[in-house]
Amino acid sequence: MTAKRKAVVLLSGGLDSATVLAIAVHEGYDAYALSFRYGQRHSVELEAARQVAQALGATRHVVADIDLKTFGGSALTDDELAVPHHDSADELGSDIPITYVPARNTIFLSFALAWAETLDASDVFIGVSALDYSGYPDCRPEYIAAYETMANLATKAGVEGRQRLRIHTPLIQLTKAETIRRGQELGVDYSLTHSCYDPVGGRACGSCDSCLLRGRGFAELGLVDPALQPVAG
Amino acid sequence: MTAKRKAVVLLSGGLDSATVLAIAVHEGYDAYALSFRYGQRHSVELEAARQVAQALGATRHVVADIDLKTFGGSALTDDELAVPHHDSADELGSDIPITYVPARNTIFLSFALAWAETLDASDVFIGVSALDYSGYPDCRPEYIAAYETMANLATKAGVEGRQRLRIHTPLIQLTKAETIRRGQELGVDYSLTHSCYDPVGGRACGSCDSCLLRGRGFAELGLVDPALQPVAG
């Protein structure tokens, strides 16, 4: 029996990354899930990440502390900038929104690269989508390809020609609805996930960009987002 | 009068990055110096970074907290791995040494990119050298070029075509001795800098890779490394 291959999976605790973790496990990887405490307002997502990692059978789950508040510049980390709310997903524009965190995916992937090198893993999974991507530049295929090229020049394994790092983006051509359908096939319990940028009392607001995109995905499948269902009681 | 251009300068507190900061200031940039508390054993270098930033006129100096100990894998961050010591620089091999921190420059540059984006700066300075580089893969010109390509796909400014991020590596073709000569021309006080991987009581050990490379540079100029001179008293 050969050992299973290891992969580092970036896990925010949201819908997309939970689906990606399920895909990595389904593809036969030992999944090392990596989350970040980065000064985000919505740190309730870290508890969601913990539950998702456990439910989907991650081999290990690590939360790395990093300090992005030092730099500011995003409504997700800067208390002086408000998270925008809208009545419907149709109001979302194509501009890069204020919730964009400068260089966030670049930083997250860099930590994933460090962990992968330490684990001797050559696979990293990230849940970016070029379709329902809220206009973030670091979710596009050309960005991911350039990151992969750079990463293979950055590491011991790349230099020594032992292995080639691969960044897997299984959602990159999927709509939110297609992502949800894929996750349901793999048994993801979306009630555990948390995507809201601006939760109130630990509950999703239903009107930030992230809630609206996610809600529309469920609606297209004739479903209601479990994160927005009223608490029983 | 036009405003000076801003640059983010990665500043470890060592000889190379102090020289780079002096070069950035000399080239007319407002220098935003960035250091990291990353679980390194030699955190005395952060006090050196503070003094160097002040002495060379950095506009601001920020120390970002990041967590690399979580991943381990390097003698610089892992208490279970010993920093190697040698009798002379001639013993240093060409293999990648145990002091290599996985993906360190990739992580450092990613934070520099985040800060540059927040400052609306398009210049980042880093003190890597492809000659006296201790065999680290992420100090090579092809790595830096690939990073720059990736960074320009990652950011708002790159996507909007407003500005192109440039990574400056003024030391990349310099030997340690040439770096020291350049720094002396610009008035760098190397007694403030700290490069040792394994200091004892805040003093340089004189026998780790970093001390040996640096000592050899000073020796080639007929000088003694001020970090290795006995304390007066």
**Of the candidate ranges A113-122, A200-209, B127-136, the one whose mean pLDDT is the lowest:** B127-136
Contact B72 A118 (CB under 8 A): yes
Of B65, B72, B156, the CB nearest to A137: B156
Identify the pLDDT of residue B2.
59
Higher-pLDDT residue of B137, B144: B144
Query: pLDDT by residue (tens digit) across A3-14?
Result: 789 999 999 999
Of B66, B102, B114, the CB nearest to A118: B102
Name the maximum alpha-carbon separation found in chain A: 59
Q: Do residues A98 and A81 make contact, with C-beta atoms less than 8 angstroms apart? A: yes
Higher-pLDDT residue of A85, B228: B228
Q: Which chain A residue's Cα is nearest to B115?
A: A71
Does the pLDDT value for residue A201 go beyond 90? Answer: no
Identify the pLDDT of residue A149.
93
Quote the mean pLDDT of chain A. 84
Higher-pLDDT residue of A232, B91: B91
Is the alpha carbon torsion for B79, B85, B89, B94 positive or negative? Answer: negative
Contact A103 B111 (CB under 8 A): yes
Select from A36, A69, A71, A167 the residue whose CB has the most chain B CBs within 10 Å, as the one to mutate to test that interface. Answer: A71
Is the alpha carbon torsion for A10, A14, A16, A19 positive or negative? Answer: positive
Query: pLDDT by residue (tens digit) across A28-53?
Result: 999 999 999 877 666 788 999 999 99
Q: Which two tokens stand for residue A156?
A: 């011991």
- Interface ipTM: 0.84
**Of the candidate ranges A118-127, A169-178, B160-169, B216-225, the one whose mean pLDDT is the lowest:** B160-169
B53-59 long-range contacts, Cβ below 8 Å, gap at least 24? B53/B11, B53/B21, B55/B189, B55/B192, B56/B18, B56/B21, B56/B22, B56/B25, B56/B31, B56/B188, B57/B25, B57/B31, B58/B9, B58/B11, B58/B21, B58/B25, B58/B31, B58/B32, B58/B33, B59/B6, B59/B30, B59/B31, B59/B32
Q: Do residues A33 and A49 make contact, with C-beta atoms less than 8 angstroms apart? A: yes
Q: What H or E segment, with its residue span, contains residue B124? A: strand B123-125
Is the alpha carbon torsion for A45, A50, A55, A58 positive or negative? Answer: positive
Quote the mean pLDDT of chain B. 84
Q: Which two tokens stand for residue A71?
A: 């730099």
φ, ψ dihedrals at A137, nearest 5°:
-65, -30
Higher-pLDDT residue of B216, A85: B216
Q: What strands lie across the sheet with B123-125, from one edge to the other?
A: B60-65, B30-37, B6-10, B123-125, B166-168
Q: Do residues B76 and B42 make contact, with C-beta atoms less than 8 angstroms apart? A: yes
Query: pLDDT by residue (tens digit) across A87-101?
Result: 766 655 555 555 556
Does the pLDDT value for residue B154 go beyond 80? Answer: yes
Higher-pLDDT residue of A86, A181: A181
Does the pLDDT value for residue A17 go beyond 80? Answer: yes
How does residue B233 score in pLDDT terms, banded at 50, 70 and 90? Answer: very low
pTM of the complete model: 0.86
Does the pLDDT value for residue B93 go beyond 70? Answer: no
Q: CB-based contact (8 Å) between B120 and chain A?
A: no
Q: Do residues A111 and B104 make contact, with C-beta atoms less than 8 angstroms apart? A: no
Of A64, A110, A150, the CB nearest to B146: A150
**Of the candidate ranges A111-125, A135-149, A190-204, B183-197, the one whose mean pLDDT is the lowest:** A190-204
> What percent of chain A has a predicted confidence (pLDDT) above 70?
79
Q: Which two tokens stand for residue B168?
A: 């400056």
φ, ψ dihedrals at A175, nearest 5°:
-75, 170
Q: CB-based contact (8 Å) between B65 and chain A?
A: yes
Taking a contact as any Cβ pair under 8 Å apart, which residues of chain B between 150 and 179 contact chain A?
150-151, 153-156, 158-160
Query: pLDDT by residue (tens digit) across A56-84?
Result: 999 999 998 887 777 765 555 555 656 55
Q: Do residues B47 and B35 make contact, with C-beta atoms less than 8 angstroms apart? A: no
Find the mean pLDDT for residues B90-104: 61
Domain annotation for chain A: domains and CATH numbers: 6-224 (3.40.50.620)
Query: pLDDT by residue (tens digit) across A149-175?
Result: 999 998 766 667 666 899 999 999 999
Does the pLDDT value for residue B100 go beyond 50? Answer: yes
